[in-house]
């Protein structure tokens, strides 16, 4: 797979006075042309505007001198960073809203690339990455070169790079979009996390369509309340960001969003019991290949058969959202359906590691890390499991502590055998994280029947493999596509798929 160039090769750039006019800050120093933008001094290229932003640990202005040494032609910062940046001698643009200004400046420098091809934005608690891959498939059915930006990877046609975060910082996002335009991309899809919206990473980005998947408990360490979390997501359903919207109305938040959307909106219902919407996915049943078959009813009441290789109603929702969003940017409906049916597999999301045979269970790697995600994926696996469902999971350290009991309750409610283990504890004591999850397990299953606490994680997977029979399914959730486990600041090489394969090989040897 060829490496991905993160920026365009040719950039006209922008004058600082033009940027000042757009962002509304104060320019100190002479006018100059800047030809790129970055928030990280280590990634500065000659001619860049270095955006020195306040961080959680340190102010970016601390790195102003290093940025200038690396070739930064000018700096954008806030009042707190102004003196340190001005001491470097390059022109400094000071803005009271530096994050927002950085996004607007980057869009100006790269020539507002999101206006030059249809970009679909996806937001919601669960299903963004899966829907992004499915949407990419739908777009590919008629577009020769498609872009994708999300949690797993950033991709332009056949070139790709692993992604560090769901939604990258605005200057990199604008650079990537400009690179897409230069490379001949004619349609793209991008995940927009709620944190990214709050941190202005998608500001100055124009979405032809924004899609809302669902909302449930997540990131409340950052957003504090569900109300605030919802309001943040709702921000991109306005003319500042979007031309039109597609909203899944399976949950109360989607139904509420429809009333607050300020752009033309199409509604989508994908679950039994959801009131009839513009688009409806009905009669969903599992296929004997482990996927789902359903009927999509279009607004003109025409009926379309859809068959996807992914399990459960969650993926019926994801596939339907992808089809409707792609259709909204001009992909003919039948092409969008065929494209979703044959989309690239999504790494680490309901990904089957081994199918069941006469002796061993089916093993699955997944990325559910919210209570709703765990409940939903276990329900999805139930449809393809004649026996018991084992779940192996933990929770990341230094993230939303309040969701941990909810994870435990969801697992104890929807799985048969619950194995609590470690995920990426980071610098938190792992036993504290496990204890918080077990509080929720106990609320649902006070006697702890079929509940185990096993660590390290590979041992937990091995324990599940020892206990499960051929009719059973073992699902390890929370790490998905990740290739390391972060413990005490060290990233240890580790994959759940590798742990499964090793444990299965060992159990085969023991039986032989």
Ligand X SMILES: Nc1ncnc2c1ncn2[C@@H]1O[C@H](COP(=O)(O)OP(=O)(O)OP(=O)(O)O)[C@@H](O)[C@H]1O
Ligand Y SMILES: CC(=O)N[C@H]1[C@@H](OP(=O)(O)OP(=O)(O)OC[C@H]2O[C@@H](n3ccc(=O)[nH]c3=O)[C@H](O)[C@@H]2O)O[C@H](CO)[C@@H](O)[C@@H]1O[C@H](C)C(=O)N[C@@H](C)C(=O)N[C@H](CCC(=O)O)C(=O)O
For binding to ligand X (CB under 6 A), which residues are involved?
Answer: 126-130, 151, 166, 191, 213-214, 314, 317-318, 349-350, 366-368, 372-373, 376-377, 480
The answer to the question of whether 151 is labelled as a binding residue is no
Residue 164 or 345 having the CB closest to ligand Y: 164
The interface partner of residue 3, options being ligand Y, ligand X, none and the CB cut-off 5 to 8 Å by kind, is: none
Is residue 165 at the binding interface for ligand Y, with CB under 6 A as the rule?
Answer: yes
Among ligand X, ligand Y, none, partner that 53 touches (CB below 5 to 8 angstroms by kind): ligand Y
CA distance 74 to 30: 10
- In the complex, minimum distance from the CB of residue 128 to ligand X, in angstroms, rounded to a whole number: 3
Residue 320 contacts which entry, ligand Y, ligand X, none (Cβ below 5-8 A, type-dependent): none
Residues numbered 1 to 40 that lie near ligand Y (CB under 6 A) are 39-40
C-alpha pair distances (Å), 304 with each of 18, 299, 310, 380: 50, 12, 18, 22
Pattern of binders to ligand Y over 39-58, x per CB under 6 A?
A: xxxx----------x-xxxx
- How far apart are the C-alpha atoms of 195 and 354, rounded to whole Å? 35
8 A C-beta contact, residue 436 and residue 401: yes
List C-alpha distances in Å: 121 to 126, 212, 243, 286, 387.
Answer: 14, 9, 11, 29, 39
Q: Are 488 and 426 in contact (CB under 8 A)?
A: yes
Q: Are 131 and 192 in contact (CB under 8 A)?
A: no
* Residue 199 engages ligand Y in binding (rule: CB under 6 A): yes
Distance, CA of 344 to CA of 153 (rounded, Å): 13
Contact between 89 and 68 (Cβ < 8 Å): yes
Contact criterion met (CB below 8 Å) for 296 and 280: yes
Residue closer to ligand Y, measured from CB, 155 or 445 = 155
Strand 14-15 and strand 207-212: the pairing is unpaired
397 is in an annotated binding site: no
Longest dimension (CA), the chain: 78
CA distances from residue 319 to 253, 341, 349, 385, 479 in whole angstroms, order as listed: 20, 8, 14, 22, 22
Please identify, using beta-carbon distances, which residue of 98 and 331 lies nearer to ligand Y: 98
State which residue, 372 or 422, has the beta carbon closest to ligand X. Answer: 372
Are 374 and 404 contacting, i.e. CB atoms less than 8 angstroms apart?
Answer: no
Q: How far is the CB of 224 from ligand X (least distance, A)?
A: 19
Characterize the bridge pairing of strands 33-34 and 14-15: antiparallel
Residue 194 annotated in ligand binding: no
Give me 412's structure tokens: 């104890």
Task: Give yes or no for residue 63 binding ligand Y (CB under 6 A).
Answer: yes
Is 166 a binding residue for ligand Y by CB under 6 A? The answer is yes
**Contact call for residue 358 and ligand Y (CB under 6 A):** no
Residue 129 binds which of ligand X, ligand Y, none (CB < 5-8 A, kind-dependent): ligand X
Which span sits near ligand Y by CB under 6 A: 162-170, 309-317, 330-338, 340-348? 162-170
**Pick 472 or 482: Cβ nearer ligand Y:** 482
Q: Enter the tokens of residue 116.
A: 């030059």
195 binds ligand Y (CB under 6 A): yes
- The reply, when asked if residue 477 is annotated as ligand binding, is no
CB of 362 to ligand X, least distance (A): 15
Decide: is 112 part of the binding site for ligand Y (CB under 6 A).
no
Q: What CA–CA distances, in Å, run from 84 to 68, 87, 92, 115, 370?
A: 12, 5, 10, 35, 41
Residue 44 Cβ, how far from ligand Y at the closest point, in Å?
Answer: 8
DSSP assignment letter at 137 = H
Q: Does residue 325 interact with ligand Y by CB under 6 A?
A: no
166 among annotated binding-site residues: yes
Closer to ligand Y by Cβ: residue 63 or 500: 63
Q: What minimum distance in Å lies between the beta carbon of 176 and ligand Y?
A: 14
* 127 known member of a binding site: yes
Phi, psi of 348 (to 5 degrees): 75, 15
Token digits of residue 66: 């290093």
State which residue, 78 or 266, has the beta carbon closest to ligand Y: 78
- From the annotation, which residues make up the binding site? 41, 124-130, 166-167, 193, 201
Interacting residues toward ligand Y by CB under 6 A = 39-42, 53, 55-58, 60, 63, 165-167, 169, 193, 195-196, 199
């Amino acid at each position: 797979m060829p490496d991905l160039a993160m920026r365009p090769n040719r950039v006209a750039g922008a004058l600082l006075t033009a940027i000042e006019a757009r962002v509304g800050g104060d320019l100190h120093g002479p006018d100059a042309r800047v030809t790129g933008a970055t928030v990280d001094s280590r990634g500065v290229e000659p001619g860049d505007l270095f955006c020195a932003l306040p961080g959680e640990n340190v102010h970016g202005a601390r790195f102003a001198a290093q940025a200038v040494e690396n070739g930064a032609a000018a700096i954008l910062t806030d009042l707190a960073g102004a003196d340190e940046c001005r001491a470097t001698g390059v022109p400094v643009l000071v803005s009271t809203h530096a994050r927002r200004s950085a996004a607007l400046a980057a869009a100006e420098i790269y020539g507002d690339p999101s206006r030059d091809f249809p970009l679909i934005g996806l937001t919601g608690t669960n299903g963004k990455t899966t829907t992004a891959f499915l949407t990419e498939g739908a777009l590919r059915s008629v577009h020769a070169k498609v872009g994708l930006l999300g949690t797993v990877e950033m991709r332009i046609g056949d070139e790709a790079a692993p992604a560090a975060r769901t939604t990258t910082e605005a200057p990199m996002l604008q650079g990537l979009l400009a690179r897409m335009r230069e490379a001949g991309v004619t349609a793209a899809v991008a995940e927009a996390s709620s944190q990214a919206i709050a941190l202005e990473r998608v500001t100055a980005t124009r979405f032809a369509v924004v899609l809302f998947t669902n909302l449930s408990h997540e990131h409340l360490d950052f957003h504090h309340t569900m109300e605030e979390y919802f309001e943040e997501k709702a921000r991109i359903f306005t003319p500042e960001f979007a031309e039109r919207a597609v909203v899944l109305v399976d949950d109360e938040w989607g139904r509420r969003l429809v009333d607050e959307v300020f752009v033309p909106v199409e509604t989508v219902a994908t679950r039994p019991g959801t009131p009839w919407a513009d688009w409806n996915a009905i009669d969903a049943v599992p296929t004997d290949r482990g996927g789902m078959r359903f009927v999509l009813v279009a607004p003109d009441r025409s009926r379309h058969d859809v068959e996807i290789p992914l399990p459960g109603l969650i993926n019926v929702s994801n596939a339907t959202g992808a089809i409707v969003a792609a259709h909204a940017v001009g992909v003919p409906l039948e092409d969008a359906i065929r494209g979703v049916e044959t989309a690239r597999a999504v790494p680490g999301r309901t990904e089957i590691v081994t199918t069941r045979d006469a002796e061993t269970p089916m093993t699955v790697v997944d990325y559910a890390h919210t209570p709703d995600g765990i409940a939903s994926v276990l329900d999805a696996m139930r449809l393809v499991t004649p026996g018991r469902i084992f779940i192996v999971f933990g929770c990341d350290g230094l993230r939303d502590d309040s969701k941990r009991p909810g994870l435990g309750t969801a697992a104890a409610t929807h799985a048969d055998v619950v194995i609590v283990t470690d995920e990426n504890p980071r610098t938190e004591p792992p036993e504290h994280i496990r204890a918080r999850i077990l509080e929720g397990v106990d609320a649902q299953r006070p006697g702890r029947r079929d509940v185990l606490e096993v660590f390290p994680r590979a041992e937990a997977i091995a324990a599940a493999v020892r206990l499960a029979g051929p009719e059973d399914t073992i699902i390890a959730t929370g790490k998905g596509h990740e290739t390391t486990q972060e413990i005490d600041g060290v990233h240890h090489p580790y994959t759940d798929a590798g742990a499964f394969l090793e444990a299965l090989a060992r159990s085969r040897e023991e039986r032989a």
